[in-house]
Amino acid sequence: MSTFPPELLAHLGGETTSVCHCWRVTREDGVVTGYSDHDGVVAFDGTEFRPQSGFSVSEARETLGLAADTVDVEGALSSDTLDADDLAAGKYDGANVETWLVNWRDTEQRALLRQAVIGRITLEDGRFRAELESTKLHINQPGGRWFRRACDAELGDARCQVDIGHPTLVGTGAVIDVLRSDAVSVSGLAGFADGWFSHGVLTCLDGPQAGTDYRIIAHRRDNGADELVIWRGTAPLPQAGVAVRVVAGCDKAFATCKAKFANHLNFRGFPHLPGDDEAYGYANEQQVFDGSPLVP
């Protein structure tokens, strides 16, 4: 529940008010920005809340219990600190957002209405809409691990332990051309097999998207040219001439882990887990029950 200082309560009880909403956004990389639905700059606690974005807010609810509340914030992409490419690249995903009610004539009269994290962001016609999710949302998230055949580790992380810096797993080159809205052709991958980088990661080394990672859906070789199909919904594709680093892909299957990476001892799935056919099937005399593994 929000706590309103007496001075702000007295102001709200008057015949006229001079209040506005202010949002302080703290990204996971530590960048802090401020936005307001007022028509001028509002500043407090070392943050300037700027009006250029034209923010507006939907109805906000605060309910008792463990239910997760949400509220939408939307505005035009007109702020110097709010970039469509950053939004598309996911730099604001999971950011912490403080919503304040402030008397813009006297910013000491302010109250913190809610704290939330940014969930889904949609972009359309030069405007954005961000869904602010209650901090109680994590209560509804599944915890622990899932029992499933596929591996749940990320290639190269501490649980996987594959060295993704090994020359056989990483290639460097440059973007030759943007083929479609979801595909680029890349140089420098001729020494790798067709499909080697499917399910991998492309990282820009320079240019406007320097440091941005792109998930690769498929790697195809056609007439000697390597085409990488990129997962939709990420940042704008890198343009021709941008240097890139491409890491081999893993489809999370046990057979791939063993054959491609020789890392089956660190496989983090359950490849011997029976499927639906086994679960609903029944034994018969034609089956072989010699204790051998279901997965070689």
What domains does the chain contain, in order, with CATH numbers? 6-140 (2.30.110), 170-247 (2.40.10.170)
Q: Exposed (0-12), middle (13-18) or buried (19+): which is 1, by Cβ within 10 Å?
A: exposed
93 φ, ψ to 5°? -65, 130
Longest CA–CA separation in the chain, Å? 88
Rounded CA-CA distance 147/24 in Å is 40
User: What per-residue confidence (pLDDT) applies to 135?
Assistant: 65
For the record, the structure tokens of 8 come out as 């702000």
Give the whole-angstrom CA distance, residue 36 versus residue 56.
Answer: 9
pLDDT at 80: 60
Q: Rg for the chain (alpha carbons), in Å? A: 26
pLDDT at 250 > cutoff 70: yes
Rounded to an integer, the average pLDDT of 260-274 is 91
pTM: 0.62
Looking at residue 34, its amino acid is: G
DSSP-assigned beta bridge partners for residue 49: 34, 42
What does the alpha-carbon distance between residue 134 and residue 63 come to, in Å, rounded to a whole number? 10
Tell me the two tokens of residue 153: 């580790």
> In this prediction, what percent of the chain has a pLDDT beyond 70?
78
Confidence at 53, pLDDT banded by 50, 70, 90: low
Share of the chain above pLDDT 90, in %: 44
What pLDDT is recorded for position 279? 66
Q: Specify the DSSP class assigned to residue 241.
A: T
Q: According to the model, what pLDDT value does residue 123 have?
A: 67
pLDDT at 145: 79
DSSP letter, residue 67:
P
pLDDT of residue 251: 94
**86, 18 Cβ separation under 8 angstroms:** no
| pLDDT value for 288 | 76
Measured between alpha carbons, how far is 110 from 101 in angstroms, rounded to an integer?
Answer: 6
Three-class SS of residue 232?
coil
Q: Average pLDDT of 165-186?
A: 92
What's the full length of the chain, in residues? 296
Spatial separation of the C-alpha atoms in residues 81 and 77, rounded to whole Å? 9
Residue appearing with tokens 């990282």 = 203
Our separate counts of H helices and E strands in the chain read 4, 15
